[in-house]
Amino acid sequence: MRIIRSAEGRRMPWKNGGGETVEIACFPEGAGLNDFGWRVSSARVAVAGPFSLFPGVDRTLSVLTGDGLMLDFADGAEVRLDLASAPYAFPADVPVAGTPLGGPITDLNVMTRRGMFAHRVTRMSAPARLAAGAGAFALAFVAAGEAQVPAQDGRPGAALASGDAALVTGGAAMLLPGPEGCRLLLVEFAPA
Protein backbone atom coordinates (compact mmCIF):
# COMPACT_ATOMS: atom_id res chain seq x y z
CA MET A 1 0.00 0.00 0.00
CA ARG A 2 1.16 3.50 -0.79
CA ILE A 3 0.04 6.58 1.17
CA ILE A 4 -0.24 9.69 -1.02
CA ARG A 5 -0.25 13.00 0.87
CA SER A 6 -2.16 15.96 -0.57
CA ALA A 7 1.06 18.01 -0.74
CA GLU A 8 2.71 15.38 -2.99
CA GLY A 9 0.45 16.02 -5.98
CA ARG A 10 1.99 17.06 -9.28
CA ARG A 11 0.62 20.46 -10.36
CA MET A 12 0.10 20.85 -14.08
CA PRO A 13 -1.94 23.00 -16.47
CA TRP A 14 -5.20 21.66 -17.84
CA LYS A 15 -4.79 20.11 -21.26
CA ASN A 16 -6.86 22.98 -22.72
CA GLY A 17 -4.87 25.61 -20.76
CA GLY A 18 -7.96 26.86 -18.91
CA GLY A 19 -6.79 26.09 -15.38
CA GLU A 20 -4.60 23.91 -13.19
CA THR A 21 -4.98 20.37 -11.91
CA VAL A 22 -3.20 18.44 -9.20
CA GLU A 23 -2.40 14.90 -10.25
CA ILE A 24 -2.84 12.59 -7.25
CA ALA A 25 -1.82 9.32 -8.92
CA CYS A 26 -1.45 7.82 -12.37
CA PHE A 27 -0.41 4.57 -13.99
CA PRO A 28 2.15 4.05 -15.20
CA GLU A 29 3.76 6.39 -12.70
CA GLY A 30 5.06 9.51 -14.42
CA ALA A 31 2.92 8.99 -17.53
CA GLY A 32 1.86 12.05 -19.51
CA LEU A 33 -1.61 13.13 -20.58
CA ASN A 34 -1.43 11.09 -23.79
CA ASP A 35 -0.14 7.79 -22.43
CA PHE A 36 -1.65 7.11 -18.97
CA GLY A 37 -3.62 3.92 -18.37
CA TRP A 38 -5.46 5.55 -15.48
CA ARG A 39 -5.25 8.90 -13.72
CA VAL A 40 -6.73 10.55 -10.60
CA SER A 41 -6.56 14.33 -10.23
CA SER A 42 -8.26 17.21 -8.48
CA ALA A 43 -8.98 20.69 -9.80
CA ARG A 44 -10.46 23.95 -8.60
CA VAL A 45 -13.07 25.26 -11.03
CA ALA A 46 -13.78 28.97 -10.51
CA VAL A 47 -15.27 30.02 -13.87
CA ALA A 48 -17.39 28.42 -16.58
CA GLY A 49 -15.53 26.81 -19.45
CA PRO A 50 -15.02 23.74 -21.62
CA PHE A 51 -13.53 20.52 -20.32
CA SER A 52 -10.34 19.24 -21.93
CA LEU A 53 -10.99 16.51 -24.50
CA PHE A 54 -9.22 13.16 -24.07
CA PRO A 55 -9.81 10.83 -27.06
CA GLY A 56 -10.34 7.19 -26.07
CA VAL A 57 -10.73 8.00 -22.37
CA ASP A 58 -13.61 7.57 -19.90
CA ARG A 59 -14.01 10.03 -17.04
CA THR A 60 -15.85 10.14 -13.69
CA LEU A 61 -16.32 13.46 -11.93
CA SER A 62 -17.17 14.05 -8.25
CA VAL A 63 -17.63 17.39 -6.45
CA LEU A 64 -15.47 17.68 -3.30
CA THR A 65 -16.18 21.26 -2.16
CA GLY A 66 -18.54 24.08 -3.12
CA ASP A 67 -22.20 24.36 -4.07
CA GLY A 68 -22.04 22.29 -7.23
CA LEU A 69 -21.17 22.12 -10.90
CA MET A 70 -23.50 22.14 -13.90
CA LEU A 71 -22.28 20.05 -16.84
CA ASP A 72 -23.61 21.12 -20.25
CA PHE A 73 -23.07 18.52 -22.98
CA ALA A 74 -22.92 19.30 -26.71
CA ASP A 75 -26.09 17.23 -27.28
CA GLY A 76 -28.06 19.55 -24.96
CA ALA A 77 -28.03 17.26 -21.91
CA GLU A 78 -27.40 18.91 -18.53
CA VAL A 79 -26.20 17.23 -15.35
CA ARG A 80 -25.97 18.93 -11.95
CA LEU A 81 -23.33 17.60 -9.56
CA ASP A 82 -22.96 18.53 -5.88
CA LEU A 83 -21.61 17.08 -2.64
CA ALA A 84 -24.52 14.64 -2.38
CA SER A 85 -24.41 13.49 -6.02
CA ALA A 86 -23.17 10.09 -7.02
CA PRO A 87 -19.93 10.30 -9.02
CA TYR A 88 -20.87 10.93 -12.66
CA ALA A 89 -19.27 8.91 -15.48
CA PHE A 90 -19.07 10.11 -19.09
CA PRO A 91 -16.76 9.82 -22.11
CA ALA A 92 -13.88 12.31 -21.94
CA ASP A 93 -13.91 12.67 -25.73
CA VAL A 94 -17.41 14.23 -25.80
CA PRO A 95 -17.57 18.06 -25.69
CA VAL A 96 -18.84 19.32 -22.32
CA ALA A 97 -18.65 22.62 -20.46
CA GLY A 98 -18.78 23.11 -16.71
CA THR A 99 -20.30 26.00 -14.76
CA PRO A 100 -19.64 26.27 -11.00
CA LEU A 101 -22.80 27.04 -9.02
CA GLY A 102 -22.61 29.71 -6.30
CA GLY A 103 -18.82 30.08 -6.44
CA PRO A 104 -15.70 27.97 -7.00
CA ILE A 105 -15.77 24.20 -6.55
CA THR A 106 -13.13 21.52 -6.22
CA ASP A 107 -13.60 18.23 -8.02
CA LEU A 108 -12.06 14.78 -8.20
CA ASN A 109 -11.49 13.58 -11.76
CA VAL A 110 -10.85 9.89 -12.50
CA MET A 111 -9.91 8.81 -16.03
CA THR A 112 -9.10 5.49 -17.69
CA ARG A 113 -7.92 4.78 -21.21
CA ARG A 114 -10.37 2.49 -23.01
CA GLY A 115 -8.93 -0.89 -23.86
CA MET A 116 -6.44 -0.65 -20.98
CA PHE A 117 -8.50 -0.12 -17.80
CA ALA A 118 -12.07 0.36 -16.62
CA HIS A 119 -12.96 2.15 -13.39
CA ARG A 120 -15.71 2.65 -10.85
CA VAL A 121 -15.98 5.47 -8.28
CA THR A 122 -18.16 5.18 -5.16
CA ARG A 123 -18.87 7.69 -2.39
CA MET A 124 -18.72 6.05 1.02
CA SER A 125 -17.89 6.55 4.67
CA ALA A 126 -15.18 4.76 6.61
CA PRO A 127 -14.76 2.00 7.62
CA ALA A 128 -13.96 0.77 4.14
CA ARG A 129 -11.98 -2.12 2.71
CA LEU A 130 -9.62 -1.48 -0.19
CA ALA A 131 -8.94 -4.57 -2.26
CA ALA A 132 -7.26 -5.07 -5.62
CA GLY A 133 -6.49 -8.34 -7.36
CA ALA A 134 -3.58 -9.04 -9.70
CA GLY A 135 -3.11 -6.20 -12.19
CA ALA A 136 -5.82 -4.12 -10.50
CA PHE A 137 -5.64 -1.03 -8.30
CA ALA A 138 -7.85 0.50 -5.59
CA LEU A 139 -7.51 4.06 -4.33
CA ALA A 140 -9.34 5.64 -1.39
CA PHE A 141 -9.40 9.45 -1.46
CA VAL A 142 -10.28 11.23 1.80
CA ALA A 143 -12.85 13.82 0.70
CA ALA A 144 -13.53 15.13 4.22
CA GLY A 145 -12.52 14.27 7.76
CA GLU A 146 -9.76 11.85 8.69
CA ALA A 147 -9.13 8.14 8.26
CA GLN A 148 -6.76 5.67 9.87
CA VAL A 149 -5.02 2.78 8.16
CA PRO A 150 -4.29 0.31 10.97
CA ALA A 151 -0.96 -1.50 11.20
CA GLN A 152 -1.25 -4.80 9.35
CA ASP A 153 1.05 -7.64 8.26
CA GLY A 154 4.16 -5.88 9.58
CA ARG A 155 3.23 -2.63 7.84
CA PRO A 156 2.95 0.45 10.08
CA GLY A 157 -0.36 2.26 10.41
CA ALA A 158 -0.99 5.72 8.98
CA ALA A 159 -3.30 8.66 9.55
CA LEU A 160 -4.91 10.20 6.46
CA ALA A 161 -6.19 13.79 6.40
CA SER A 162 -8.61 15.37 3.96
CA GLY A 163 -6.99 15.34 0.51
CA ASP A 164 -4.77 12.32 1.24
CA ALA A 165 -5.17 8.96 -0.49
CA ALA A 166 -4.24 5.32 -0.03
CA LEU A 167 -3.39 3.19 -3.08
CA VAL A 168 -3.48 -0.60 -3.04
CA THR A 169 -2.06 -2.81 -5.78
CA GLY A 170 -2.68 -6.54 -5.65
CA GLY A 171 -3.63 -6.62 -1.98
CA ALA A 172 -6.04 -5.29 0.63
CA ALA A 173 -6.18 -2.74 3.45
CA MET A 174 -8.78 -1.34 5.85
CA LEU A 175 -9.56 2.34 6.42
CA LEU A 176 -11.14 3.29 9.73
CA PRO A 177 -12.82 6.63 10.46
CA GLY A 178 -11.02 9.30 12.45
CA PRO A 179 -12.62 10.86 15.55
CA GLU A 180 -14.75 13.27 13.48
CA GLY A 181 -15.79 10.69 10.88
CA CYS A 182 -14.71 10.43 7.28
CA ARG A 183 -16.10 10.77 3.75
CA LEU A 184 -14.27 8.78 1.10
CA LEU A 185 -14.28 8.32 -2.64
CA LEU A 186 -13.31 4.74 -3.44
CA VAL A 187 -11.83 4.27 -6.92
CA GLU A 188 -11.45 0.77 -8.36
CA PHE A 189 -9.38 0.15 -11.50
CA ALA A 190 -9.56 -3.16 -13.37
CA PRO A 191 -7.61 -4.20 -16.46
CA ALA A 192 -9.79 -4.13 -19.59
Q: What is the DSSP letter of 188?
A: E
> Is domain 7-113 classified as CATH 3.40.50.300?
no
Q: By the 8 A CB rule, do 52 and 107 touch? A: no
**In the prediction, which pLDDT does 109 show?**
98
pLDDT tens-digit readout, 6-38 = 999 989 877 776 678 999 999 999 999 999 999
**In the prediction, which pLDDT does 177 show?**
85
Cα 65 from Cα 34, distance rounded (Å): 28
Buried b (16+ CB within 10 A) or exposed e, 18-46: eeebbbbbbbeeeeebeebbbbbbbbbbe
Q: Where are the domains of the chain?
A: 7-113, 117-191
pLDDT tens-digit readout, 102-118 = 999 999 999 999 999 99
pLDDT tens-digit readout, 59-72 = 999 999 999 999 99
**In the prediction, which pLDDT does 79 show?**
98
Written as one letter, the residue type at 41 is: S
Q: Which of 28-37, 76-85, 110-119, 171-180 has the lowest mean pLDDT?
A: 171-180
Identical fold, 7-113 and 117-191: yes
> Is domain 117-191 classified as CATH 3.30.70.120?
no
